Amino acid sequence: MNSELTDPRTGRLRGTAPVSREPEVAAAVAAARTALDAWSALTPKDRARRLDRLATLIEDSAAEYAVRERAGTGKPDAETAGEIEQVADLFRFFATAARTRTAPAAGRLVTGHESWVRWEPMGVVGVIVPWNYPLMMAAWRCAPALAAGNTVVVKPAETTPDTLELLAEHAARTLGEGVLQSLPGDRRTGRLLVGSPVDMVAFTGSGQAGLDVAARAGTRRISLELGGNAPAVVLPDAPADTYASLAEAATYNAGQSCAAPARVITLTENYEETVARLTEAMGARLAGRDFGPLNNVDQVARYDSLVASSSAKRQLAADLAVPPGEEHGHWRAALLLADLPHDDPTVTEEVFGPLLTVQHADSVEAALSLANGVPQALAASVWTTDLGTGLDLAARLDAGEAWLNCHLVQTAELPHGGRGSSGHGTDLSTLALQEYQRPKTVTVRLTPGPCES
């Protein structure tokens, strides 16, 4: 059974991909289970060496990864190149992180006994990743899971299986057979993977799908990143580059990023200036030149429906710069919505497109209330030259990641994760290793027992 693949830049058929069902899922999980003992038995140093070889192979094959990533996503070359570089860095980072982590308290904590904590892998991890960052989101999940000693079966989104197929081939060469496998397919494939005898599920995707994963996973550990709806609180004394920075972040990957700025919130006294400057900044970002298309027809339909349902009195769209021959792709212009109610669908829901809404409040406290007034709580930013006020607001924003005078600035060393309906768990940083390990306390009696001499 195969599914058709479409080029998002042209809308035309570009090939097919297999759709895995019960036999393929069972075989992949069984292979991962077979590989688990040998992989988990390696010392952290030996696992690190193999992960480092995988990172080198990714770098050496960057051009091939870029072709595949562009085919599935339509991303511009600069975006693709940067993400591939980050993927190689992630595998190297976690290879080292697994060698340097420390355990909880150990020693003679009970009289006559010595205790310590072992960190053990969860086992076989089922990973499900979305289409907006096919390779990078897989690396966010797979790199710490592998470094912690787990084996992984990862299901890419139905529309973007290309780069994970190559990653699995390279993993087989550098890590060993069965250690990291790609399982192409559709939503049913993902449900089959969750229902299979994996020991843990790591899922990145929509809130509704995340709830389904949680229900199917039962008592097994799950790690969920379920999207965002990030506010950007812009105060009247915001730096001069605020508006261009927000426009760039909002249109990166055509806005198809869970942490992208989505809701600009400013004070009433600064509202008209903010709308004017954001209109100019968004107008300078051209789809086809500065950012790519939406990924698939379902996302296009959802985006168009949300925009059509908005009661915004001002809808300010930029121009398009679509290359010749790509006029029928999934292109959408950068769009600014203003003069809209606080319960507008484009405010309360994750739009996932090159769109910014602008709201205003009469006070900083009211602006903070608006920022924290949606169920999603993944990321947020504050823009002000008053660092004291900015740091205070960053601390009070309900978000797993907050930026001050920047947005979408991330690195492997810093954790990323959500709250509320954005899910739970940690990606990136040494903290992510704990997602894929479980502690075991070992205590040894040192003093002789009553019957011992």
* CA-based R_g, the chain, Å: 24
Closest CA to 140 of 425, 451, 447, 453: 425
- CA dist., res. 274 & res. 269, Å (int): 10
Alpha carbons 135 and 21: distance in angstroms, whole number: 22
Q: Which of 248, 258, 326, 349 is catalytic?
A: 258
Residues comprising the chain, all counted:
453
Say whether 347 sits in a helix, a strand or coil: helix
Helices and strands (H and E) in the chain: how many: 14, 20
Q: Check residue 431 and report its DSSP letter.
A: G
> How many angstroms separate the CA atoms of 82 and 59, rounded?
11
Question: 144: closest CA among 165, 174, 121, 166?
Answer: 121
- Is residue 451 annotated as part of the catalytic site, yes or no? no
Structure tokens at 362: 């009469």
Distance in angstroms (rounded) separating the CA atoms of residues 377 and 421: 7
User: Count of CB atoms within 10 A of residue 290's CB?
Assistant: 20
Nearest CA to 12 out of 289, 328, 323, 320 is that of 328
Could you give the CA distance from residue 427 to residue 145 in angstroms, rounded to a whole number?
11
Write out the DSSP string of 291-336: B---S-HHHHHHHHHHHHH---SEEEE--B-PPTT-TTS-----EE
**Among candidates 125, 150, 98, which has minimal Cα distance to 429?**
98
Which of 79, 225, 326, 435 is the catalytic position?
Answer: 225
Q: Tell me if residue 225 is catalytic.
A: yes
Q: Strand locations in 314-447, DSSP E?
A: 314-317, 335-338, 355-361, 376-377, 379-383, 401-404, 419-420, 423-424, 437-445
Those residues whose C-beta lies under 8 Å from the C-beta of residue 11, and which sit 6 or more positions away, are: 328, 329, 330
Q: Do residues 152 and 125 make contact, with C-beta atoms less than 8 angstroms apart?
A: yes
Residue type, 273: E
* DSSP letter, residue 21: -
Find out whether 82 and 66 touch, Cβ atoms under 8 Å: no
- SS3 state at 126: strand
> Exposed, middle or buried by CB within 10 Å (0-12, 13-18, 19+), for 324?
exposed
Q: Give the residue numbers annotated as catalytic, written as ranges.
A: 225, 258
